[in-house]
């Protein structure tokens, strides 16, 4: 299963009863990784960086970090992304991202 397929499946589970919205979001993710040319690990680390940059909601972190955890991305990997981003996005956004990402990783491990 591709990362995009895994994300789409998780979106569907996060949005029960919201088929039109879930379908729209799944179509937005269709084949993005293949078009990017990035391997699974790099693709997910880029997605995590984007979540931090846009101050995404916690549910977005849970979806992406559940897949990341299944691929072996660790809390140390996420910390590395946050350290690299901090000068670009600022300390408040990096701190917010750290809190959401580490919480989401813990949630992913309980699923």
pLDDT grade for 63, boundaries at 50, 70 and 90: confident
pLDDT grade for 1, boundaries at 50, 70 and 90: low
Q: Is 55's pLDDT higher than 70?
A: yes
CATH number at residue 55: 1.20.1290
Q: Which of 42, 45, 53 is nearest to 96 (CA)?
A: 53
Contact predicate 83/99, CB 8 Å:
no
Range of the domain at 45: 3-110
Contact predicate 105/78, CB 8 Å:
yes
Total number of domains constituting the chain: 1
pLDDT of residue 15: 67
Q: What is the mean pLDDT of residues 46-72?
A: 92
Average model confidence (pLDDT) for the chain?
86
Q: What is the mean pLDDT of residues 41-66?
A: 93
pLDDT of residue 20: 76
Who's near 65: CB < 8 A, 6+ residues apart? Answer: 48, 73, 78, 101, 104, 105, 107, 108
pLDDT grade for 59, boundaries at 50, 70 and 90: confident
Please state, in angstroms and rounded to a whole number, the distance separating the CA atoms of residues 15 and 95: 27
Q: What is the mean pLDDT of residues 65-90?
A: 93
Compare 109 and 13 and report the one with higher pLDDT: 109
Q: Is 91's pLDDT higher than 70?
A: yes
């Amino acid at each position: 299963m591709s990362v995009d397929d895994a994300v789409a499946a998780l979106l569907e589970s996060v949005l029960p009863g919201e088929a039109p919205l879930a379908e729209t979001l799944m179509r937005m993710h269709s084949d993005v990784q293949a078009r990017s040319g990035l391997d699974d690990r790099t693709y997910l680390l880029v997605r995590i960086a984007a979540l931090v940059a846009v101050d995404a909601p916690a549910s977005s972190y849970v979806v992406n970090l559940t897949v990341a955890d299944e691929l072996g991305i660790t809390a140390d990997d996420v910390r590395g992304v946050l350290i690299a981003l901090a000068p670009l996005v600022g300390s408040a956004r990096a701190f917010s991202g750290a809190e959401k990402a580490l919480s989401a990783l813990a949630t992913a491990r309980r699923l």
